[in-house]
């Protein structure tokens, strides 16, 4: 029975594999919007972008100092944070 080589055959193939893995990690983490400030969710908004055929999701929160902030969130965060919940944990007060 012939022996099979399960690993990369050259350093070039190894480097290519590492670079591919690094790009994949970068692509996945780059798609996350930065987290917004902590506060109480006062409004939720979603907008359909016809050019890209994608939805954009946003939350508006009231901070403890009574100022408001609107920021982009992922779909899962949008779904998990109803109005009057405490962002970023999204638990009902």
For 44-93, what is each residue's pLDDT tens digit? 999 999 999 999 999 999 999 999 999 999 999 999 999 999 999 987 65
Secondary structure (3-state) at 80: helix
Asked whether the CA dihedral 26, 28, 32, 38 is positive or negative, the reply is: negative
For 15-43, what is each residue's pLDDT tens digit? 787 777 766 655 555 578 888 999 999 99
Strands lying side by side in the sheet with 39-49: 68-73, 54-62, 39-49, 85-87, 91-92
| DSSP string over 45-72 | EEEEETTTTEEEEEEEEE-TTS-EEEEE
- What is this structure's pTM? 0.65
């Amino acid at each position: 029975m012939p022996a099979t080589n399960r690993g990369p055959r050259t350093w070039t193939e190894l480097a290519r594999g590492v670079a591919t893995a690094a790009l994949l990690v970068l692509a996945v983490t780059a798609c996350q919007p930065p987290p917004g400030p902590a506060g109480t969710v006062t409004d939720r908004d979603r907008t359909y972008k016809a050019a890209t055929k994608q939805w954009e999701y946003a939350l508006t929160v009231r901070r403890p100092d009574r100022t408001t902030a609107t920021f982009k969130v992922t779909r899962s965060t949008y779904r998990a944070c109803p109005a009057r919940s405490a962002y970023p944990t999204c638990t009902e007060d």
